[in-house]
Amino acid sequence: MDFWIERYIENQNWIRILFIVYILIVLCLKLIDPVQFKFFIKIINYNQYLRRYVIDRKLNFINIFYLLILILIVISFSFFIILYNNTFFYKEIGLYRYFKIFLILIFFILTRFFILKTLNDYLNLFKDYKLYIFKILIFYSYLSIIFMASLSFIYITENISLNILRFLIFFSLACILSFNVILLKNQIKYFTKNTLYLFYYLCAFKIAPWFWLSKLI
């Protein structure tokens, strides 16, 4: 039997605007680079996408296309977190709280990125660092789209189903866990020469950051 709880939201206007902004950013991606956008939306051509934009050319993450993808990810994950907190912990949904979570996630992601980049430059942790980061970025962007489509459906209904949210949470965690296992498996042979680095990497970048983030949010 499905269980429903009522939601309390002071002002819904900013959330509607949030969905509109998300759609506009997706449209901007198409305008900025139509060819890459075509590869981006065709998940079935994922390997071809990797080969064209990572393997066959020098990839630069500091460009507007990838920065907008990052913003899409943070927008959807921030909204997911605030809706999750409201549903299970009865925390208020408000623009201030959303903006706070948004900034925390931006800081968390960028800090992690630059620390990893710096460590890789000095310790050579990854066989192909840019390919590693690219796969992470694209995976979370796809998950972001699933998030936003699901959350928009949940939000426009009169009530929020706990069962739907639970399914979305478990589905997301299963996807993230599976992705990280596959990603680590591809790097494990390279890490066998640096077992201590592997241990430090798992503790410092796969476990501790998420624990810290959950406490902070």
Q: What is the reported pLDDT for 10?
A: 46
Q: What is the reported pLDDT for 170?
A: 83
Q: What is the reported pLDDT for 11?
A: 52
Q: What is the reported pLDDT for 44?
A: 62
Task: State how far the Cα of 125 lies from the Cα of 120, in Å rounded to an integer.
Answer: 5
Please report how many Cα atoms fall inside a 13 Å half-sphere around the Cα of residue 93, on the Cβ side.
22
Q: What is the mean pLDDT of each run of 10 residues along the chain (217 residues)?
A: 42 80 94 88 72 67 88 91 75 83 89 79 73 85 88 68 75 84 69 58 60 58
Quickly count: other Cβ atoms within 10 Å of residue 18's Cβ: 21
DSSP string of 96-108, one letter each residue: HHHHHHHHHHHHH
Q: What is the reported pLDDT for 2?
A: 40
pTM, to two decimals: 0.80
Is the CB of residue 101 less than 8 Å from the CB of residue 81? yes
For 22-83, strand residue ranges (E) read none
Q: What is the reported pLDDT for 5?
A: 41
Q: What is the reported pLDDT for 188?
A: 60
- Radius of gyration of the CA atoms of the chain, in A: 19
